[in-house]
Structure 1
């Protein structure tokens, strides 16, 4: 196991050294709950771009399976929450391809020591009118749809392991609109060989088609629901952030926990269907790594 000289490197170097040992185990890649919608986007691949920087010799196959539970709002701006349980699956082939319940199915077109970028297919769980009839009556359903995703991640350096991440997604159905995220995260001091955690902010933006589907009220919806017509513009949808943590019980067993907060802004916040502009989300999972 690598060691560090705490007196020479100081607190920053000490926790970077601990992370080096952790990433060398290839456990930093975590699997999450069934849908990638509720948490900040970066939380679904937290630690993945750092693995190659700290441990260049990745195994050919990495397979992790488990069970996860998510607490999430019914939809962006809802005041009602619900619990969703399901499998947690994360499979990776070298530094080339992945299939994950959180990050989707995709491949890394660019995979250098400090850059990871590629394409993926993921999905959005949509919105059901009957799940919040008091506020959505007459608004109709937004169906479960796949999304195509382009993503890129950049690691500043070993000495300052800040990960900067951006993605843009196109919904293939539903709103048929574009939505994306820009964010960053960094491993935090206090990590050890049994526990380490990450913290970072995020911002989400969307085009007018996406905003109209999720936050707007067209003429037909206004006649059925009693809401006044509302036509939001594209732009910044929300600001937020998240915390991700990993506990390792043994060589093969580990648990993850995530917490995220998102605050709607601008035209999204002013939508008549929004009951609460700030939503909290979280998930936990228990996983086995083969």
Structure 2
């Protein structure tokens, strides 16, 4: 067993490491101090790069009762100019900007991957064919209800050739850090048009004949309510660890679609990012 003399240098080292980590976290302010908004610029103009990996345990597809693990790249390439950040994150290219300290605007063009029959290991999608891939435009705004982004409102519109979706929510941030670390939680309501609803839950005549499932046509309107939780922290000067949990509970005629084997979609993910 270590005595107090041999343990003391170890204890001091841990203390210094923790202190340096805290100093690194408090030494700058992100564009918006929310863990769900990536900002690798550390408050400085110019280029910033964060690269890492994330692992998710999630529903195999929307409405699925099958779950599985998936490993995805994480991070982004960003360029900051004052209160504007231009970014490339995976399959999305966009811009976000802060206005009047309380308005955050975000606009992006993203690639949408379609659902595949093989997403169901148990064959529940057999005969439905692969979903269409496409490009979508994502417009988002957040408004702070106080001076420190403790509470905020969220609005988002997703427009694509496969339909349109809208999201409205309210969020709360825990902790008082200004560098994007800590945690937050948000409650959202989601709406979609008929094209977007049928993209994932509708079954046309051809699909019905091939799959044996009842032909189904859905209308637009209220889609679901959801709960999102985000966490982010530093474990060293340039290393971030992040986590996310998402729950979406379907409502309306989505629950009656033969594709819907669960009336919810869920996802839990963790990962790390190194900031260059």
TM-score bin, normalised by smaller chain:
0.7 to 0.9
Which of 141, 151, 154 lines up with 1:165 in the alignment?
154
Distance in 1, matches of 2:229 and 2:107, equals 25
Where structure 1 has 5 or more consecutive residues not aligned to the other structure, the ranges are 1-17, 31-42
Give the TM-score normalised by structure 2: 0.79
Is the 8 Å Cα contact of residues 247 and 254 (structure 1) preserved in structure 2? yes
Task: Report how far residue 260 of structure 1 moved.
Answer: 1.0
Which residue in 2 is equivalent to 1:81? 67
Where structure 2 has 5 or more consecutive residues not aligned to the other structure, the ranges are 1-21
Cα deviation 1:31-69 (Å, max 9, x = unaligned): xxxxxxxxxxxx8537x6xx9xxx9x6433332111111
Which residue in 2 is equivalent to 1:129? 117
Correspondence list, 1:25-104, <5 A: 25-26=29-30, 44-45=36-37, 58-94=44-80, 95-101=84-90, 104=92
Which residue in 1 is equivalent to 2:249? 263
Which residue in 1 is equivalent to 2:103? 115
Distance in 1, matches of 2:266 and 2:88, equals 26
Q: Flag the structure with larger Rg.
A: 2
Is the 8 Å Cα contact of residues 28 and 178 (structure 2) preserved in structure 1? no
Is the 8 Å Cα contact of residues 191 and 197 (structure 1) preserved in structure 2? no
Is the 8 Å Cα contact of residues 197 and 244 (structure 1) preserved in structure 2? yes
Distance in 2, matches of 1:23 and 1:203, equals 36
Distance in 2, matches of 1:204 and 1:210, equals 12
Distance in 2, matches of 1:220 and 1:44, equals 41
Cα deviation 1:168-225 (Å, max 9, x = unaligned): 11224xxx21112222222125979996111111222111011112111111111121
1:224 is paired with a residue of what secondary structure?
helix
Aligned alpha-carbon RMSD (Å): 3.1
1:245 aligns with 2:221: no
Give the TM-score normalised by structure 1: 0.75
Which structure carries more strand by proportion? 2
Is the 8 Å Cα contact of residues 22 and 28 (structure 1) preserved in structure 2? no
User: Which stretch of the first structure deviates more once superposed, 130-139 or 234-243?
Assistant: 130-139
Distance in 2, matches of 1:156 and 1:171, equals 30
1:24 aligns with 2:12: no
Which residue in 2 is equivalent to 1:180? 166
Correspondence list, 1:133-144, <5 A: 134-144=123-133
Aligned length: 249
Is the 8 Å Cα contact of residues 155 and 164 (structure 1) preserved in structure 2? yes
Which of 253, 271, 275 lines up with 1:285 in the alignment?
271
